[in-house]
Structure 1
Amino acid sequence: MESSTQPGREHSASKCPRQQAGEPGPAPGRTPRSIWGSWGLQSLATVMCPKNPGTDCCGRSQRQVLPEPASSRSKHTLPSRLARVNGWSKPLNKYQAVAWATVLTLAFGMFGIFIPMLPSVWRSVAYGVTAGVLGLHAVCHLITTTVDPAEESVRQQHIYKEERPTFDRSQQERVIVDLYCALCGVTVSRSAKHCRACNKCIAGFDHHCRWLNTCIGSRNYWWFFATMCSAAAWFVVMGAIQLYVLIQYQMNPTILRMDPHYENTASDSTWLLFLPYFHLKVKTTVVGVIWLLILILIMSSLVMVGKLLVFHMYLLSKRMSTYDYLTRDRKQHSSGVTSRKKTGCFRIQISSE
């Protein structure tokens, strides 16, 4: 499944108003928040100039955290890091390696072991269909990973060669204010969100996909959806081939040994792998173990991709993004605490009846 990196939350401009034209300048010795607003750094001003003494940027008591010396507070700066261009940018994700290893393992097992067992007619069909669906999945996968999902204003700034501040919730409560991102330093659209993992604003932000190691937004969402569809279709085709091999082995194993290279094999318990180029002889037990492992990998991958595909089909029917869905659930969770406390006794009464 996919895991999402939550972007910085927006807040209304009324909390951090910008300095309007014609207003008097700041008094000597003071730095009002209107100047921070004119620079688009409202969130940083909230951190450095809290309203109430003794509280942090979120209004929490500083007694809950270790106090910092006054000198370190004045010199503290947010960490800097390069923005990531796409899914090939470092740091790479271990889930991305797992995804590619799964694809290569399944392709190696199907094309090298089980499809050569099929009769000649079905073998050609299986090669064509499996290779076609796999090729479509590879193309969609590569495009989704390679596309830069950032906002157009962010891509025009050529920010990828310069280190920039990184969003840190302990130092910043909000990043985008009045459609202006304080970290990217550009104006963004209403659907944009700042991704903490990619360190940039994403156009039409949906979620950050660990399996592709990139953000999914309006620029690559449909390629992402096609990746899920092609992956699910590929798993279904491979599952059907595995099922056919099992049925034929139970009914008539000789159908699976029609390749001409089996003519020199005397024992029925000996199987040839990686036909027609190699003739690796193994016993039936080895083939059975490989078949079971491949089937488990196919079914587990199909379940994960299928659940994700159904979820995004639901989101499309509701015209929602993954981010909208998660934030809606979070709001319902925070507003439903009292109601759940009231319905707790009702549930107990039902269970006791």
Structure 2
Amino acid sequence: MGGRIITNQRQARELGRLRTGWSVPNDDPKKRPRPVKSKTWVISSHAEHYVEKAAELYGGTVEQWQPQGNGAPQFRVITEAQQLDAVLPGGDPLSQYNEMWSKGGCKRRCDGETEQLSRRPCLCIAEYGEDWYLLRQNVYKKDKVCAATSRLNVVLLDMPDMGVWRAETHSFYASNELAGTVDMVLSGTGGKGLVPVTLRIEPRTRVAGGQTKHFPVVVVEVRGVTPRQALSGPLPTAVALDPAAAAEGRLAIEAPRPDYLADAEGALTSDDVRDVWRKARQAGHVTKDGDDELSQKLLAIAARKDAEAKDDDGSNEGDEQGPDEEGIWDGEVVEEAPTERTTSWPAAAAPGSGARR
């Protein structure tokens, strides 16, 4: 097996972005473009065929799109979907910072306590106090403070290529809920395995200072499994990819399947291998008649165990073996009738005595 660079961060390639709005030119060319909130997901990418597939799956019309700034032209589709089924990849899929951007790039990136670029204490708190985020609701002051920026990586299973799509939101309220949901999931899975989720754009209303505000919030919901299942540890991959099948009973959410062949190889005798087969039959992993592939492999291991046992006691030498040092010849060995312990072994197995060493 090939080696890896230990210090490298392993991350899936980003295929595109999932947004909850777009911007249109302002009537005043000196002012920034005017943001437009969307009730449905907006999907963009540098690859046109990705966006074409998104339009096929979620509706909408593919169009060329120029991001703000000096970014390369892209393609986007304003879909008809208010929710997207996806899975969370392994590791921690969520990144969050309070950020302030300008045409020159990122001016501030803060974790709530320390501004990462200047290594100074949070500048927004120093200037505007603990409720600084409320200034984001004031159109004249929103550019004075950072925006709570959340980036969540998800996998869209029916889209082309292997990689992640980045859902980004600048909602303060969404940042709290996203972190809470993802942290609960990670507490159960430890960041291992996939978790089925639904990304939904949920309209919210907030009344403060005599004003009513309507705004969309990105919500992440665990999909197709109960909280008990999601918090009990990493889900089987088949369940994460098709939770509906699990809910209908077509897939079982169960402990990982034992490695029966490894257990059989570690057994001392063919009787021990027979016990492994009985365990597999009780779990429903082999057929009753033993005509499946796993049973046949276990039978082959049992036969080899018998051969190894005969090699050890010299019984495979047949007539060439003479009397022992006291002049006594081995008597003929007559196999006993199968006991109740052997009746569960398939008839095709016909195991030997498997005498324990």
What TM-score range do you get, normalising by the shorter chain? Answer: under 0.3
Structure whose CA Rg is larger: 2
TM-score between the two structures when normalised by the length of structure 1? 0.24
More helix by share: 1
TM-score between the two structures when normalised by the length of structure 2? 0.23
Q: Which is bigger in relative contact order (C-alpha 8 A, separation at least 6)?
A: 1
